[in-house]
Structure 1
Amino acid sequence: MNRKRILRTASLGLVMLALLVGGVLGLQQLAITRAANQSTSAAQATSVYTQRFLTLYNEIKNPANGYFSSQGIPYHSVETLIVEAPDYGHETTSETFSFWIWLEATYGEVTGNWQPFINAWQTMDKYMIPAHADQPTNSGYNPSSPAQYAPESPNITDYPTQLDSSVPVGQDPLFNELQQTYGTPDIYGMPWLLDTDNWYGYGHCGDGTTKPSYINSYQRGSSESVWKTVVHPECETFTWGSNDGTGFLSLFNKPAPGGSYQQQWRYTDAPDADARTIQAAYWAYTWASAQGQASTISAQIAEAAKMGDYLRYSLFDKYFKTMGCQSPSCPAGSGKNSATYLLGWYYAWGGALPSAGNWAWRIGSSSAHQGYQNPLAAWALSNVPALEPKSPTAPSDWATSLQRQLQFYQWLQSAEGAIAGGATNSWDGHYGTPPAGDPTFYGMAYDWEPVYHDPPSNNWFGFQAWSMERLAEYYYVTGNATAKSILDKWVAWAKSVTTVNSNGTYSIPSTLNWSGQPSQNWTANSTPVPNTNLHVTVVDTTTDVGVTAALAKTLLFYAAKSGDTSSRTLAQTLLDDMWNNYSDSIGVSNPETRTDYNQFNDSVYIPSGWTGRNAQGATLNSSTTFLTERPKYTQDPNWPKVQAYLNGGPAPTFNYHRFWAQADIAMAMADVDILFPPSSSGTPTPTAT
């Protein structure tokens, strides 16, 4: 399968506090023709790579190619029938927006035109950052009591779970500082999922028609794959959902004694996407400054710093409990002793609709995944004055996070060089007891599959390439010795499991398998030791174009700083082969055979006796399947291919054009010339840093 990160099982239980008592962007007309079938070695002039960037950029921005909605919002993919982290192609994720902003930053570097970067940021502001009217009751938030405890479970049949007001929760150390800094109780962060064309039909806060529409899916623990989700509106007006008038809330949680279901709004932020947006803003600022144009994008850079201020919520335990928690009764945190200082899987916030009261809640995340870390963003937020957040303690928090992330990579690096999954402060999502002998990182338990298990969350090679690409950028910018030592080992492993053939074909890892565990309990006084008992193997390989681009970028940044010419040669060979083999009329795409689409008929767990309807008109009950929950899928132009498969025919094959992948391919092409600019003689010269 193309993309193994097909789930974002946030295991949030985000509805817990509901139960409290009380313009398409115009095509840039560039006269560029596709340099198809033109392979370029590292010894030749590399202007062809910039041409490829501009060609693919043009294809992405061409309205006729279908990458953007009529409102100028980038879709997750051009194709509508696709099921992975989002369950429909014309949804939009914060990931999509972050890659768009990064793409436009690169366009600004290549052309000197920063207006598309500004336009992308303003589109994000308009559609992906909730306005005050969409988070109206934050003034009712009490940072001394951030949220009511809602246990998670690895078994989806345990849902709805019981809220428990007797479990101690810690203090939120950020709220007062943020409100004083910005003069508002509202949050500046991106909810992770948008129904771009209102395909589900929830509209804006129950109106049923407005697009785009904030929606969410994952709510029910580590076993809830995308195929088991119940998609619901982020503004819960009880218009849809249960026939008993409790909306969708009663699928996820039960009220604490004396509590009741109440109408509410709530949002889940994906920290890796916000951090990637800040990473993109760093490059935009760096490149625009070199062009003498920093003032042109100063407003966007200031907002990136602001986003980083609020992103600190992802650095804290879900219920602000102290590190090393192994029981719901473990101590509540105070000050910042509830901080993991690692980018968690989410942070979330919500509150009452004004008609239901004036209360609000916030949570962090107890689990950290290696694939979400972003040392370049942490470095920029603590070392680049234009990107340092305004809150007094924010730069020091990010400086601590930077060092903690580097240590996390060291603790998780396998004997072969790949980076293992992560760690959690809340085993099984309910502060359970980890297995005996499980090593710890600042008290957090090692977890080879943090957050979700279907499939295991760190089995997708893309998380290796994404995370190490950020580390390679950090190494390129700073020359940090720890980053280099991690990359030296990781790059050697990545090369050993990547194949390029003389006939122009290639393969990279797709699925990984993990065994063993780190060798030590890591504390503030630890130094790295070899993880001789922590191992990775490659299960299968792929030609996935997006992940190939991310791998190539990692190798390019590493080569540009280390001088390792073989990494650069491999990167350019992968880019050449990918371009020559998989270019098509609207982008770059490799065929994918989707055997997993037999799960369209899989059951979606609905408790016996719970009945209701969603905005597509589907009846929801114990007989619901993924498809019957989404009857509009049967009207999709590609549905006959899936139906034939469900009827016993061959698995369908698709050529997908995911926005993030197209953007990453384009940027990888541009990076060749940015990092190794052709000299006047046509011989590439490494950029001095």
Structure 2
Amino acid sequence: MLIRRGSSVEKPSRARPHRTRRTSLLAGALALSLPLGITLASQSGAQPLTAPTGAAALQYEDRFLELYDQIMDPANGYFSAEGIPYHSVETLIVEAPDHGHETTSEAYSYLIWLQAAYGKVTGDWDPFNDAWQVMEDYIIPGAADQPTNSFYSPSAPATYAPELPDPSQYPSPMDGAVSVGVDPLANELSATYGTDDIYGMHWLQDVDNVYGFGNAPGAPCAGGPQTPGPSYINTFQRGPEESVWETVPHPSCDDFTYGGDNGFLDIFIGDDGYAEQWRYTNAPDADARAVQAAFWANKWATEQGAQAEIAGTLEKAAKMGDYLRYGHYDKYFKQSGCTSPSCPPGTGKDSANYLLSWYYSWGGATNSNAGWAWRIGSSHNHFGYQNPMAAYALSTDPDLIPDSPTAQQDWETSLERQVEFYRWLQSSEGAIAGGATSSWNGSYAAPPAGTASFYGMYYQEAPVYVDPPSNQWFGMQAWSMQRLAELYLETGDPMAGEVLDKWVPWVIGEVTIGQDGDFSIPATLSWSGQPDNWNPANPGDNAGLSVSVTDYSQDVGVTGSLANALSFYAAATGDTAAQATASGLLDAMWEHQDDLGIAVPESRGDYSRFADEVYLPAGFSGTMPNGDVIEPGSTFESLRSFYQEDPDWTKVQAYLDGGPEPVFEYHRFWAQADIALALATYADLFGDGA
């Protein structure tokens, strides 16, 4: 467990005793005598929105510290014994992770960002360094976890296998006749760091080894059900229609102990023979968030005269950013504009899109005598994964510019390309549309005639996955625009300002804030049309690309991110509506504080899918570590029978038996961190002395 520790650094005078009571928006305004603030009418007209400034805004710093203490309290259950943040306190939850005591690289990155904010507020940087170390110890595979990288050949990075439209079409056949491009990063990275290993996070971890694969860091193939602690696992592998409800969980190191005769490999890949192997998948948005947090930590620690305390961690962040460039590349290092598997391969950086793609992956044989390893990028680029603030840090901050000779220029190019991507995808109303691909249908097919393009990539309404569509969740808007708003405040980038000047009024118009914690933000978006073809010299107005909000929610994590984004924009522009909306949302959420953090009731009608059948190829037969049978006819729940022992299972079973939709109040780690960060941001940008 990461415990707050004392520091020899003198605490800033702004750190004050925590409040122990909740204050309503109106009562807080009266108590703090808000001539110091800004007042606007709320969208509902129920009461004025107040935007505290100066000393009055420091209430949000107190709230940050109060929520921080709730998150870090060992009794509240956010962390494992190792100090790893769980996806959620609650165990019965199915989202991208399919169990609450799994975790993601996202959660690790949020921990690092949270501890950076804590260092800003208190002057104590030990927790920030500790958070990075926990990440390095447990979610970045070490040398023992990726043992055969020395056999990797950059001229033959991987064997091609097409992505297929539906899980029922898998396993996908490998096709060595399709030419793949050259990996232009591997030799440079090996020369820079003296190793062939990758320094990046794997995206998913079974923290309590609930599945029992026991892929423990340091010995990923030597475990099993009795192995305590975190285990590397994976789920999604089978194309855009594979929702979490259709996944087959499997170990990151497959030595054929579990699954069928070939472990789990022949569920996903068709081949003439199968070898025991390890493989990892990186989510570039999470690594970028860790770098983003390191940038702010560096800025704040330097202001405090404490930069030397985090210098070692900053070196690691720069290194992570060096390897993060794999997220710039097409899956098989093909050039953009490829419309056939037979198109010419890339010969260098001509296969780079300079965006943050959905993933990069790497793997190899467990047997060193087998002598092979592979690496791939991803052809699919979602606007929500972009992080221009990380690109800015990696191209301009002397403490974060990576050591590789071409890294700084790559990130300079990426910074410009990412901001252009937002501008290209901005709807006529202001929201940002899905993304683009360099491999249509994941198989380098020809896109439909008239499909809009961006530097050779083709517009995708819902990049990567369509069950549900990846562009319908409003959270991607809040996450990605928060980063752009940071960049705008820090640099004044004119195109970033152009995008935000349109996005902010749109989103404010879709927010409602009432009394006593009543609020709503967009939840689900519906899209029509497509953007204009991109012309950087003359960007179009995208009159044919439109969005509508079809549902609203009180998603507290997304609300925190939205408040954060609006705060940065308000600080950059003086926009009083943005500032008042940010503080109004923060006040409304504070009314939903409970013993563990901030939470609201959530009805989960999608839990009917516990009974959904998971497609498995005809003839496949195997077992999970606990003996659950894997075969055609298996369901999501039958592959996870441990859920029947969960204390909340009775609510789900009653629903499956015809009862009402189950209702939960979830405490997701990332969501609590996002709220806390928004509180700290508001206090920092508008508080005493800001």
Aligned to 1:105, the other structure's residue is in SS state: helix
Q: Which amino acid aligns with 1:637?
A: P
Equivalent residue in structure 1 for 2:488, among 475, 491, 494: 475
State the shift of 1:621 in Å: 0.6
Q: Which runs of 5+ in 2 are unaligned?
A: 7-15, 29-49, 216-220
Q: Which amino acid aligns with 1:63?
A: P
Q: Which amino acid aligns with 1:236?
A: D
Q: CA contact under 8 A between 2:355 and 2:418: conserved in structure 1?
A: yes
Equivalences for residues 377-526 of structure 1 within 5 A: 377-502=390-515, 504-520=517-533, 522-523=534-535, 525-526=536-537
Q: CA contact under 8 A between 1:206 and 1:235: conserved in structure 2?
A: no
Q: Which amino acid aligns with 1:36?
A: R
Aligned to 1:428, the other structure's residue is in SS state: coil
Equivalent residue in structure 1 for 2:69, among 58, 69, 91: 58
In structure 1, what is the Cα distance between the partners aligned to 2:330 and 2:64? 41
How many residues matched? 649
Q: Name the structure 1 match of 2:234.
A: 216
In structure 1, what is the Cα distance between the partners aligned to 2:673 and 2:630? 38
Q: Name the structure 1 match of 2:115.
A: 104
Q: CA contact under 8 A between 1:35 and 1:52: conserved in structure 2?
A: no
Q: Name the structure 1 match of 2:18.
A: 32
State the shift of 1:155 in Å: 1.4
Aligned to 1:538, the other structure's residue is in SS state: strand
Q: Does 1:263 align with 2:276?
A: yes
Length-normalised TM-score, structure 1 = 0.93
State the shift of 1:678 in Å: 1.9
Q: CA contact under 8 A between 1:82 and 1:88: conserved in structure 2?
A: yes
Question: Could you give the per-residue CA deviations for residues 309-351 of structure 1, whole angstroms, max 9, x where no partner exists?
Answer: 0000010000000110111111100110000100000000000
In structure 2, what is the Cα distance between the partners aligned to 1:503 and 1:172? 56
In structure 1, what is the Cα distance between the partners aligned to 2:179 and 2:170? 22
State the shift of 1:501 in Å: 2.1
Equivalent residue in structure 2 for 1:77, among 74, 88, 100: 88
Equivalent residue in structure 2 for 1:232, among 229, 237, 250: 250
Q: Does 1:279 align with 2:292?
A: yes
In structure 1, what is the Cα distance between the partners aligned to 2:376 and 2:570? 40
State the shift of 1:206 in Å: 4.2
Aligned to 1:507, the other structure's residue is in SS state: strand
State the shift of 1:458 in Å: 0.7
Aligned to 1:151, the other structure's residue is in SS state: coil
In structure 1, what is the Cα distance between the partners aligned to 2:85 and 2:288? 19
Q: Name the structure 1 match of 2:148.
A: 137
Q: CA contact under 8 A between 1:341 and 1:404: conserved in structure 2?
A: yes
Q: Which amino acid aligns with 2:673?
A: A
Q: Does 1:254 align with 2:270?
A: yes
Q: CA contact under 8 A between 2:86 and 2:102: conserved in structure 1?
A: yes
State the shift of 1:42 in Å: 2.1
Question: Could you give the per-residue CA deviations for residues 167-189 of structure 1, whole angstroms, max 9, x where no partner exists?
Answer: 00000000000000000000000
Q: CA contact under 8 A between 2:52 and 2:583: conserved in structure 1?
A: no
State the shift of 1:28 in Å: 6.1
Equivalent residue in structure 2 for 1:329, among 342, 345, 349: 342
Q: Name the structure 2 match of 1:123.
A: 134
Q: Which amino acid aligns with 1:273?
A: A
Q: Name the structure 1 match of 2:33.
A: none
Aligned to 1:354, the other structure's residue is in SS state: coil
In structure 2, what is the Cα distance between the partners aligned to 1:544 and 1:246? 42
In structure 2, what is the Cα distance between the partners aligned to 1:545 and 1:318? 35
Q: Name the structure 2 match of 1:196.
A: 207
Aligned to 2:667, the other structure's residue is in SS state: coil
Q: CA contact under 8 A between 1:222 and 1:454: conserved in structure 2?
A: yes
Q: Which amino acid aligns with 1:253?
A: I
Q: Percent identity?
A: 57
State the shift of 1:354 in Å: 2.4
Question: Could you give the per-residue CA deviations for residues 216-258 of structure 1, whole angstroms, max 9, x where no partner exists?
Answer: 000000000000000000001000011xx20000000111xxx
Q: Which runs of 5+ in 1 are unaligned?
A: 1-23, 680-686
Q: CA contact under 8 A between 2:327 and 2:359: conserved in structure 1?
A: yes
Q: Name the structure 2 match of 1:650.
A: 660
Q: Does 1:606 align with 2:583?
A: no
Cα 1:310–1:643 change in 2 (3 A) is: same
Q: Which amino acid aligns with 1:25?
A: L
State the shift of 1:609 in Å: 1.1
Q: CA contact under 8 A between 1:275 and 1:308: conserved in structure 2?
A: yes
Q: Does 1:185 align with 2:171?
A: no
In structure 1, what is the Cα distance between the partners aligned to 2:59 and 2:552? 28
In structure 2, what is the Cα distance between the partners aligned to 1:343 and 1:513? 24
In structure 2, what is the Cα distance between the partners aligned to 1:92 and 1:463? 19
State the shift of 1:69 in Å: 0.5
Q: CA contact under 8 A between 2:148 and 2:368: conserved in structure 1?
A: no
State the shift of 1:355 in Å: 5.1
Q: Does 1:94 align with 2:105?
A: yes
In structure 2, what is the Cα distance between the partners aligned to 1:254 and 1:504? 54
Q: Which amino acid aligns with 1:656?
A: Y
Q: CA contact under 8 A between 2:17 and 2:62: conserved in structure 1?
A: no
Q: CA contact under 8 A between 2:517 and 2:590: conserved in structure 1?
A: no
Q: CA contact under 8 A between 2:147 and 2:368: conserved in structure 1?
A: no
Q: CA contact under 8 A between 1:129 and 1:189: conserved in structure 2?
A: yes
In structure 2, what is the Cα distance between the partners aligned to 1:503 and 1:195? 38
Q: Does 1:207 align with 2:223?
A: yes
Q: Name the structure 2 match of 1:17.
A: none
Equivalent residue in structure 2 for 1:358, among 347, 365, 371: 371
State the shift of 1:526 in Å: 3.7
Question: Could you give the per-residue CA deviations for residues 509-568 of structure 1, whole angstroms, max 9, x where no partner exists?
Answer: 000000000122x25x54211000000000100011000011100100000010111110
Q: Which amino acid aligns with 1:190?
A: M
Cα 1:356–1:215 change in 2 (3 A) is: farther
Aligned to 1:514, the other structure's residue is in SS state: strand
Q: Which amino acid aligns with 1:313?
A: Y
Aligned to 1:362, the other structure's residue is in SS state: strand
